[in-house]
Structure 1
């Protein structure tokens, strides 16, 4: 039997990352799974393990991300600038730097795959949609006056940054096309994870799905079921509009 594919999942200790790892473990296809958390030490440890113990990487799943919009409202962050920079640094800059660091190992794979975890809220062409309910909520205009009440789930920073991540994906797809690396931005759907900071149960009441559904979707991408959509932002049932 061929050696198991080596898969690195960032942010794999909780939420969607945990469900991705669980879905891959439940697959009849064997994998060697490596979990990396969202901090420099963990990233360095993952790179060391890959280099010394495995010598290559087959699949990089850039799942680690964070939203800091609510932390401005709660005064946990002192300014809009701090929150926006932290959102960008976590979701885009950190992802780009890690991908760059691991690229020599990924290019040693016979079937390399690179996934960027984006958001269903990131499509520019859907910023005026009012259906389904999730779009009606995030695209609604607040009442006149200042400061603005963005409701239960403010997303202006997170949403803007994930749109930037989509561009990052297209540039990695452009850079790696001649190398045969399959690249996607994966939009896993509205999931009841801890990302929004409002609790899984509240998110379920708002229509969020079990995070396990997102894990199974990512497993499908890893196992070749969306190979016809490389270079795109993909949802479970369609290619997401730009």
Structure 2
């Protein structure tokens, strides 16, 4: 068996840009080897991202492949599953990173259309992808499920904070992440019994186009958010299994529910 065949297979949703892309890049730079699968709604953009990762890391021990995946489309999820089976016939690590902030890219809003779109992607999409790939994780010798969450999804933190300038406009996104946190709790209990470790990750506000100029101007390097995901994957946050991990502003730990 070649080293690539024995290396963990990692699938990262929404990984052609932002935190997902940086996570893939950090894995490609690791001293460990991985079979990295990055997904995006546009196969062309995913392939360009994969090529860039490979050219940026010419001495990488890992492989990088791009496949198409729209987490709001059941046919797309089914096709992606078949592609992973074709490529590796297994999956060891699933990183649920793909998410949106509103119905309009780069704008945080909470109209009814936003609630529908945000929940369809962040909650239903994440749950559907997990449901599709969890059998392979359960068959892995070291299955790991990582879900990118957010501190704004913490009900404890929201109840303790004073109303901010975005307390209402971010309600759809915050509510979706609170729902995702419930999924993390449920999945950790259900799949933990089958040998799959489950974590949430709070990457903090990162400088991506997620919330347009607001996040680009105020966010930190998305590689810092991706680094927490890599810490989970490489076993440095095993003590926090079943919780939402964070590491920012000189403080590290887990977020309250």
TM-score category of the 2 structures, normalised to the smaller one? 0.7 to 0.9
The offset of 1:14, in angstroms, is: 0.9
Scaled by the length of structure 2, the TM-score of the pair is: 0.78
> Secondary structure of 1:67's match?
coil
Alpha-carbon distance in structure 2 between the residues aligned to 1:15 and 1:119? 15
Alpha-carbon distance in structure 1 between the residues aligned to 2:17 and 2:157? 29
Pick closer, same or farther for the CA change 1:212–1:58 going to 2, 3 Å.
same
Alpha-carbon distance in structure 2 between the residues aligned to 1:42 and 1:35? 14
Alpha-carbon distance in structure 2 between the residues aligned to 1:201 and 1:37? 21
Alpha-carbon distance in structure 1 between the residues aligned to 2:82 and 2:104? 35
- What's 1:52 paired with? 86
Scaled by the length of structure 1, the TM-score of the pair is: 0.82
Structure 1 runs not aligned, ≥5 long: 131-135, 143-149
The offset of 1:70, in angstroms, is: 6.1
The offset of 1:81, in angstroms, is: 2.1
- What's 1:145 paired with? none
The alignment status of 1:35 with 2:38, answered yes or no, reads: yes
- What's 2:48 paired with? none
The offset of 1:31, in angstroms, is: 0.3
> Is the contact between residue 36 and residue 42 of structure 1 (CA under 8 Å) also seen in structure 2?
no
Aligned structure 1 segments of 4 or more residues deviating by more than 3 angstroms: 40-45
Alpha-carbon distance in structure 2 between the residues aligned to 1:221 and 1:124? 23
Alpha-carbon distance in structure 2 between the residues aligned to 1:155 and 1:229? 27
Alpha-carbon distance in structure 2 between the residues aligned to 1:9 and 1:26? 16
> Is the contact between residue 23 and residue 227 of structure 2 (CA under 8 Å) also seen in structure 1?
yes
> Is the contact between residue 103 and residue 113 of structure 2 (CA under 8 Å) also seen in structure 1?
no
- What's 2:56 paired with? none
Alpha-carbon distance in structure 1 between the residues aligned to 2:211 and 2:184? 23
The alignment status of 1:232 with 2:256, answered yes or no, reads: no
If you compute each CA radius of gyration, which structure gives the higher value, 1 or 2? Answer: 1
Alpha-carbon distance in structure 1 between the residues aligned to 2:28 and 2:222? 15
Q: CA RMSD of the aligned region, Å?
A: 2.5
- What's 2:101 paired with? 67
Alpha-carbon distance in structure 1 between the residues aligned to 2:216 and 2:124? 31
Alpha-carbon distance in structure 2 between the residues aligned to 1:155 and 1:69? 12
Structure 2 runs not aligned, ≥5 long: 42-69
> Is the contact between residue 117 and residue 188 of structure 1 (CA under 8 Å) also seen in structure 2?
yes
1:14 to 14, 17, 22: 17
Alpha-carbon distance in structure 1 between the residues aligned to 2:146 and 2:200? 6
> Secondary structure of 2:253's match?
coil
Alpha-carbon distance in structure 1 between the residues aligned to 2:76 and 2:38? 9
> Is the contact between residue 69 and residue 155 of structure 1 (CA under 8 Å) also seen in structure 2?
no
> Alignment length, in residue pairs?
219
- What's 1:123 paired with? 154
> Is the contact between residue 78 and residue 132 of structure 2 (CA under 8 Å) also seen in structure 1?
no
The alignment status of 1:80 with 2:111, answered yes or no, reads: yes
The offset of 1:8, in angstroms, is: 0.1
Alpha-carbon distance in structure 2 between the residues aligned to 1:228 and 1:199? 34
